[in-house]
Amino acid sequence: MLTTLDWNIFHTVWPTGAVEQHVAHLVGVNGMVVYKKAASLRTEKREYEEKLDGTRYARFFIALILNDLLSEKSMCDVIRKYECTKSFLQQLQQTTATFTCIVQIFAERLSWNNLKQLLNGFQSRLNFGIKQV
């Protein structure tokens, strides 16, 4: 889905909230690396190695997009913010909803009812972009 990561956009949308920055730290995404890549500065091999870290940074970028969609931001705003296409966002929503459905079936077969219920609400939010009241 995401073939190349635009570091300038990534730097522009880098989360400023403490919670998002903490999550970035927990998954191993470093804001300084994003800044250096956006500014075309050299990064040390211990800081960022494309083969090992590229996927992690791309997944975090995708997670930021999904977070905005789940926070009920309009699709037009998300398209402008991340400079992506509507078809990309629709494909992302569809792929995520499909994966959620698979995990939901897995949870049901293992009798993990709480996880199944949680994912049920998540899937409807992905499909329709609205929270349950």
Q: What's the pLDDT at 133?
A: 46
- Round to whole Å and give the CA distance between 22 and 15: 10
CB 30 within 8 A of CB 47: yes
- Among 26-35, 86-95, 114-123, which stretch is predicted with the lowest mean pLDDT? 114-123
Element holding 116 (H helix, E strand): helix 113-128
In terms of Cα–Cα distance, which of 101, 20, 16 is closest to 66? 20
Q: Please, is 29 exposed, middle or buried when counting C-beta atoms within 10 Å of its C-beta (0-12, 13-18, 19+)?
A: buried
What does the chain come to in residues?
133
* Position 11 confidence tier, pLDDT thresholds 50, 70, 90: very high
Q: How far apart are CA 17 and CA 21, in angstroms?
A: 6
Domain boundaries along the sequence of the chain: 7-84, 87-128
Average model confidence (pLDDT) across the chain: 88
Residues sharing a CB contact under 8 Å with residue 123, sequence separation 6 or more, in sequence order: 97, 100, 101, 104
Could you tell me the pTM of the whole model? 0.85
pLDDT digits (tens, 9 = 90+) for 14-52: 998 899 999 999 999 999 999 999 999 988 888 888 888
Instruction: Name the token pair of 41.
Output: 């500065």
CA distance 41 to 129: 38
